[in-house]
Amino acid sequence: AAERVRGLLASGAEGKGLRVSVEKGGCAGMSYKMEIAEPKRGDEVIDVEGGRVIVDAAAVLYLLGTTMDVKTTQFSSTFVFENPNQTSACGCGESVELTPADPEKVGAAPQMGSS
């Protein structure tokens, strides 16, 4: 995932990162949203292997313990999330049901996969 993030940020994205957030919507209730952006106050900034991921402050408890990776097929590549806070997903895979983590029990920030 770090390599893919570096590629996205390679052209003119100085000081920016891949911002990950969650928003309400879809049949399961929430969906992941990603955009190239600068960090905002309260965001969690993760720099790994030259790739920068910015976790939206409002999404941190939904993404604690999450691993972000890239799935590549012959025709496409997409970011995938292994999220311990995900309780279900819709059949089409476009939305998920998330329960916020208890910050007292989980001390792990979201991580990027090595592929």
The answer to whether residue 113 is domain-embedded is: no
pLDDT of residue 11: 76
The answer to whether residue 11 is domain-embedded is: yes
Indicate the number of domains in the chain: 1
Two structure tokens written together for 22: 């969650």
Ordered DSSP codes for 22-83: EEE-STTSEEEEEEEE---TT-EEEEETTEEEEE-GGGHHHHTT-EEEEEE-SS-EEEEEE-
pLDDT of residue 74: 92
Tally the C-alpha atoms within 13 A of residue 3's C-alpha that lie toward its C-beta: 9
Tens-level pLDDT at each residue, the chain (115 residues):
878 887 888 877 788 999 999 999 888 889 999 999 999 999 999 998 888 999 999 999 999 999 999 999 999 888 899 999 999 988 877 889 898 888 776 555 556 665 5
pLDDT of residue 35: 94
* Start-to-end C-alpha separation, the chain: 6
pLDDT of residue 114: 54
Range of the domain at 22: 2-108
